[in-house]
Amino acid sequence: MAEPCTVRDLAARIGQTVTIRGWLTHYRSSGRIRFLVLRDGTGVVQTVVKAEAAELAGVESWEQIGQESSLIVTGQVHRDARAPVGVEVEVRAVQVLAATHEYPITPKEHGVDFLMDHRHLWIRSPRQAAILRLRSIIVQAIRGFLDSHGFVVADPPIITPTPAEGSTTLFAIDYFGEPAYLSQSGQLYMEALALALGRVYSFGPTFRAEKSKTRRHLTEFWMIEPEMAFCEFEENLVWQEQLVEHIAQQVLLRALGELNALQRPLAPLENIRTPFPRITYDEALVRLAQLGMPIAWGEDLGAPHETALANQFDCPVFVTHFPTHLKAFYMQPEPTRPEVVRAADLLAPEGYGEIIGGSQRIHDLSLLESRMAEHGLDASSYAWYLDLRRYGTVPHSGFGLGLERLVAWFGGLDHVRETTPFARTLNRVWP
Ligand code: 4AD
Ligand code: MG
């Protein structure tokens, strides 16, 4: 048997005889010629079988090889400018490892519920595989940026006694008789780690019992949470925009095949250039009123407001200085105007909404204690967190980037459920 070769690498093997290990995506015949389209995870290639010239092993007849049969195909690589991978393979031998019949996902259209019920198989489709490869490239870009800027990856616990983002979206667990929760955000621990290591980030799953059924909400999603000691509000925004610009550049460099497979227009990604525009919450309200979508000062922006605001820019936009009462207890109020906080949401264009939430944290002990009291939080459950303000407190800031929303935006996808291998949502915990 010739040396195995991935579909991605076939273009470098023109004229050679190679072996490809993969699965049959579809099959057609025309007279005495059969076409077996194979995928192997790196790409899809058409192979041509002239039946009398090809050996078949593992099954009796060509008719027995259905969609998603696993195959080892040996053949000669020919240039073919029309093919997506630039080559076609003329088959000499096919070994069938597992002949498959009645694969549930056929080339016809299926509804989303059916596809999600078969997610363990749906991920094999070229489009879903392209999304998962895009996600992987984005993960590498995020890590590459943070690692090369001196951030230490330091992961907070997933089982935690201390809620970080309010009590309404907690998943409670019974921890040997003690109450505990799945982490909604590692932020409080990242603050401790920033005071130990300077610049840190976490990269892991977070959990929110979101009752909302929208195209942006999962109950389990991955968040990247950088936290920086000696960092104030403005610098925090610069880190965010540089990170997002870097990811966009890497995606345009490394994921063009995936973006093309997703038919993702490139111009919106090419527009992602720093500095990103910044508008305050107050300015946002003026803009919304002009757009005929007025909201009263103190009300939160909903998804339609975010979309309308973001549509005014062709680049992501920061909305800053939200009313203090809308935001979490740990956010630093603006000293000259304590009714607003030094927080920003980064809104993506094209209706993708909030991608990042971040803020400068309160570093003064008594201010933090009074904000916690206003939120009805029991200081004894946060004793360790308050210690951070007792011992060597410094101004510090950080943010949380939602991986699935970022992948949905970069991939131009309709819904976050396709951005993660096995999405968890309000009404789905299967498969
Ligand atoms: O704005 P959030 O709630 O911020 C925090 O959790 C902060 N503690 C982060 C920090 O400062 N370290 O969430 C951050 C991001 C959102 O902007 C969004 O991209 C994503 O996490 N996110 C979700 N993504 C998918 N499904 C959900 N239910 C999400 N909730 C938040
Ligand atoms: Mg937020």
d(CA 36, CA 72): 12
d(CA 70, CA 83): 22
pLDDT tens-digit readout, 133-173: 999 999 999 999 999 999 999 999 999 998 888 889 999 99
Q: What percent of the chain clears pLDDT 70, i.e. is strictly above it?
A: 100
What is residue 327's predicted lDDT score, i.e. its pLDDT?
96
pLDDT tens-digit readout, 173-200: 999 999 999 999 999 999 999 999 999 9
d(CA 331, CA 329): 6
pLDDT at 1 over 80: no
pLDDT tens-digit readout, 337-378: 999 999 999 999 999 999 999 999 999 999 999 999 999 999
Q: Which atom of ligand 1 is found nearest the CA of 218?
A: 26
What is residue 261's predicted lDDT score, i.e. its pLDDT?
93
- In order of 23, 153, 429, the CA distances from 204 in angstroms are 32, 11, 19
Ligand closest to CA 405? 1
**Is residue 366 within 8 Å of 267, Cβ to Cβ?**
no
- Bridge partners of 23, per DSSP, are 39, 70
**Is residue 65 within 8 Å of 98, Cβ to Cβ?**
no
pLDDT at 107 over 90: no
Q: Summarize the confidence of residues 37-65 as an average pLDDT.
A: 92
Fold annotation for 7-98: OB fold (Dihydrolipoamide Acetyltransferase, E2P) (2.40.50)
Paired tokens of 69 = 């049969």
Q: Which atom of ligand 1 is found nearest the CA of 402?
A: 19
d(CA 136, CA 258): 11
What is residue 51's predicted lDDT score, i.e. its pLDDT?
72
- What residue spans define the domains of the chain? 7-98, 119-418
Of the options 3.30.930.10, 3.30.70.560, 3.40.50.1000, 3.10.20.30, the CATH number for the domain spanning 119-418: 3.30.930.10
**Is residue 20 within 8 Å of 4, Cβ to Cβ?**
yes
Q: Summarize the confidence of residues 414-424 as an average pLDDT.
A: 97
Q: Which of 168, 405, 409, 424 to mutate to test the pocket of ligand 1 (most atoms within 8 A of CB)?
A: 405
Query: What's at 296, amino acid-wise?
Result: A
Identify which has the larger pLDDT, 403 or 163.
403
> How many degrees, rounded to 5, is the angle at CA 180 between CA 177 and CA 186?
160
Q: If you ran DSSP here, which 8-state letter would residue 108 be given?
A: S
Q: Which atom of ligand 1 is found nearest the CA of 400?
A: 9
Task: List CB contacts of 285: < 8 A, sequence separation 6 or more.
Answer: 294, 295, 297
Q: Could you tell me which of 252, 207, 205 has the C-alpha nearest to residue 224?
A: 205
316 lines ligand 1 (CB under 6 A): no
Give the Å distance between the CA of 138 and the centre of ligand 2: 21
Confidence of residue 81 (pLDDT cuts 50, 70, 90): very high
Using CB atoms within 10 Å of the CB of residue 74, give its burial: 0 to 12 exposed, 13 to 18 middle, 19+ buried.
buried
Q: Which atom of ligand 1 is found nearest the CA of 357?
A: 1
397 lines ligand 1 (CB under 6 A): no
Q: To 10 degrees, what angle do helices 383-390 and 365-374 make? A: 150
